[in-house]
Amino acid sequence: VEFKDYYQTLGVAREAAADEIRKAFRKLARKYHPDVSKEPDAEARMKEVNEAYAVLSDPEKRAAYDQLGRNYRPGEEFRPPPDWDAGFEFSHHDFQGADFSDFFAELFGRMGARGHGQDHYAKVLLDAEDAFLGAARQIALRVPTVDAGGRVTLETRTLNVKIPAGVRAGQLIRLAGQGAAGAGKPGDLLLEVHFKPHARYRVDGRDLHVDLPVAPWEAALGAVLRVNVPGGALNVRIPAGAQSGRVLRVRGKGIPAAPPGDLLLTLRVILPSADTPKARELYEQMARDLAFDPRATP
């Protein structure tokens, strides 16, 4: 694995006091906070910053890292000498489940074999169509694995996962026995379902929101329209006098969960452009013959 310079990651000197390290970390934690950061690689940077801080903020880990890191440069091939960590006592619970680098796992990963496997937690991104038809996905998990020497390495494991039809946003899917293997029975894999943004569809819980473009006469006179949604086409009646922005609810035609959600169609009245003599004539006629003022206060 490559040697990582945690001091460089946080932008502090090797002899920095604990207080300086904490200040540097907080500045970076704010800059790369994944929920608000505009930096393109915020999530990856935040992981590095967290990892560096996990080591440098802990006096024992920092001392061990300092002793070992004296002769290495960042990026250099690194192999810890056997028993390098003798004499250091680490408490491991504080980074349990954290997604740190191979370098970190190599250094501090002597967690020993656990009694049972850990539940693993991952996000899965689906298209709206997948909620209707079900889907197969490949998911790459970084799993801590204990080797013969009792050392822990992070292994990438690829899982083929079947997503059943009827999943909803924010739902957890449990796959028994697919989590991290331990000394005993493997843990479960928990997948949190998220939906990709889509130009036409938006999933909200069990409900499916769809924009429905309509012609002015369809909205004004009413119409029965054939609408394509991920579950298949269906006929929808537009009531006469419907305005743009009106939401029509079709019960039971949302995500086919149990009970199924609703389909919510937001009408968007699209005006034909007046780019032919005929179209111009029709608009001009309406302007003449209709007493219509859209800004008139009722």
Partner 1 sequence: MSEEELLTLEEVVLVCAVTPEWLRDRVEEGLVPAAPEWRFSAVAVRRVRRMHALERDFDAAPELAALMADLLEELDALRARLG
Torsion of CA 198, 202, 204, 210, to 10 degrees: -160
Output the furthest CA–CA distance in the chain (Å, rounded): 94
Residue 132 to residue 166: CA distance in whole angstroms: 6
Closest by Cα among 179, 260, 268, 194 to 227:
268
| Residue 54 near residue 61, CB atoms below 8 Å | yes
Closest by Cα among 242, 101, 111, 278 to 180:
111
Nearest approach, Cβ of residue 174 and partner 1 (Å) = 5
Nearest approach, Cβ of residue 36 and partner 1 (Å) = 8
Cross-strand bridge partners of residue 174: 190
At 237 the three-state DSSP class reads: strand
Q: Which is nearer to partner 1, 48 or 218 (CB)?
A: 48
Q: Which is nearer to partner 1, 153 or 171 (CB)?
A: 171
| Residue 202 near residue 165, CB atoms below 8 Å | no
Residue 166's φ and ψ, nearest 5 degrees, are 95, 5
Q: Which is nearer to partner 1, 102 or 119 (CB)?
A: 119
Nearest approach, Cβ of residue 68 and partner 1 (Å) = 25
Angle at 107 between CA 118 and CA 141, to 5 degrees: 35
Nearest approach, Cβ of residue 248 and partner 1 (Å) = 18
Q: Which is nearer to partner 1, 17 or 172 (CB)?
A: 172
Nearest approach, Cβ of residue 121 and partner 1 (Å) = 4
**Positions in the binding site for partner 1 (CB under 8 A):** 25-26, 29-30, 35, 50, 93-98, 118-121, 164, 166-168, 170-174, 187, 190, 192-193, 197-199, 202, 204, 257-258
Q: Which is nearer to partner 1, 171 or 244 (CB)?
A: 171
**What number of other Cβ atoms are within 10 A of residue 133's Cβ?**
13
Residue 179 to residue 190: CA distance in whole angstroms: 8
Q: Which is nearer to partner 1, 45 or 220 (CB)?
A: 45
Residue 245's φ and ψ, nearest 5 degrees, are 95, -15
Nearest approach, Cβ of residue 53 and partner 1 (Å) = 8
Nearest approach, Cβ of residue 109 and partner 1 (Å) = 15
Residue 90's φ and ψ, nearest 5 degrees, are -110, 140
Q: Which is nearer to partner 1, 25 or 65 (CB)?
A: 25
